[in-house]
Amino acid sequence: MSGHSKWANIKARKGSQDAKRGKMFTKLAKEIIIAARLGGGDESGNPRLRTAIQAARAINMPRDNINRAIKRGTGELEGAAIEEVIYEGYGPSGVAILVEATSDNKNRTTGEIRHLFTRFGGNLGVSGCVARLFEHRGLFTVPAGELDEETVFEAAIDAGAEDMESEEGSFLIYSKFEDMSGVGEALEKAGIPFESMEGVYIPVTTTHVPGDKAKGLLKLIDSLDDNDDVVNVWSNMDIDDSDLEALAEE
């Protein structure tokens, strides 16, 4: 697990989920809108929409909110157009950072993201400056439950996946990003239930950050993640587990 993923897990374990529920509603509503716009409003034929709806239900988003978001995506309800945007830059210690966002006002969002990079000692770069340091892949999270690891692995490979890991009661199945929809359909047909399907950016190489220099970097990442327009923040940071735990206690 990358240092970034470890930090996200520590925050989730120690933080208040209720405090962030409103922001999650906003972010997931935007994801539902985009998924419905790109693949239609029928979740049975739109894996991305189905995954977004599952995530919304998991945090108890009201069904009316979900339905409105779907209708905005399909054009049945009016609303400002929402587009996907990717920002790239560097944080303290030269750590590469890639930010996925959805916005109905790109100029506003760009200004906010640039301000956060500058405020916490980083700099927002041009498109392509750090993308080469990441692999864009599809990730399926399958609850382990009573499933046999070898059986799941064989089904995943047969479905077109590239790799699988076992982590904290779940199987993580990776595919090429462009193959994600087909792999998801094949896993469902094979009887392998997954609780989420998402595009992820995996660092090709990592940048080690000592504990005494990590605080500013983590503040930047947390501030970006807290922005209402930001969907995901990816980095290639490598911070020792003990340093991450110590910083989470501060």
CB atoms within 10 A of CB 180: 23
The CA-based angle 91-234-7, given to 5 degrees, is: 85
Give the least confident one: 5-19, 35-49, 109-123, 204-218. Answer: 5-19
Three-state DSSP state, 213: helix
Round to whole Å and give the CA distance between 235 and 76.
37
Q: What are the structural domains of the chain?
A: 16-74 (1.10.10.200), 83-240 (3.30.70.980)
Residue 145 sits at φ, ψ, to 5 deg, of 50, -125
The per-residue pLDDT for 6 is 58
Q: If phi over 0 gives left and psi between -120 and 50 gives alpha, with beta otherwise, what is residue 40?
A: left
The 10 Å Cβ neighbour count of residue 224 is: 25
Predicted structure pTM score: 0.82
Helix, strand, coil percent values for the chain (each to nearest 5): 50, 25, 25
Beta-sheet strands, E only, within 115-229: 123-124, 134-143, 163-167, 170-176, 196-203, 207-208
When pLDDT is cut at 50, 70 and 90, the band that residue 175 belongs to is very high
Instruction: Give me the sign of the Cα torsion angle 143, 136, 13, 6.
Output: positive
- pLDDT per residue as tens digits for the range 51-85: 889 888 877 899 999 999 999 999 999 887 888 99
pLDDT of 12 above 80: no
Q: What is the pLDDT of residue 8?
A: 59
